[in-house]
Amino acid sequence: MRILGIDPGLHLTGYAVVESRGFKPAIAEAGVIRLNPRMDASKRLVELHQQISQLLKEFKIDQMGVEQLYAHYKHPRTAILMGHARGVILLAAAQADIPITHMPSTLVKKMITGNVHAGKAQVQKSVMMLCRLPQLPTPSDTADAIAVAWVLAGRLMRVGR
């Protein structure tokens, strides 16, 4: 089974492809989709949709985990923009008939670090150790996407899907 983990954004969208192998997941690919912040938002959304669709097709994804939207009430504009990015990501998965699991960041952080309030650096370090990576996954969006995919893979392996 191949799982695509996504940390959505309109500038950087982290992604990670994790394969279930035996009793432990393994990273097949991870990185970020970089979108030009000077480009019109609608054009960035088209580009994001195309890139996600390509990942789904190229890696023959079976399941997708997407970090749930969280926004602080002081930054409602950020939530709206993130919602746009998340929407085109969900659209790409629906068009490819790929099941989606919405992953709360607090659950992912708890499972990866043991701390629901873990910061970016702590998530990066935990992902590096857990996945036995030679260096910190950067930027932090990549680490977040790996964490989403890793937690979802573990959940699916436990229930035997």
Which of the following is catalytic: 7, 19, 29, 40?
A: 7
Which of the following is catalytic: 29, 40, 67, 144?
A: 67
Side chain identity at residue 3, one-letter code: I
CA dist., res. 87 & res. 145, Å (int): 17
CA dist., res. 114 & res. 118, Å (int): 8
Active-site annotation holds for 29: no
| 75-82 contact pairs (CB < 8 A, 24+) | 81/10, 81/41, 82/8, 82/9, 82/10
Active-site annotation holds for 141: yes
CB atoms within 10 A of CB 83: 13
Active-site annotation holds for 7: yes
Side chain identity at residue 136, one-letter code: L
| DSSP bridge pairs for 19 | 2, 26
Query: What is the set of active-site residues?
Result: 7, 67, 141
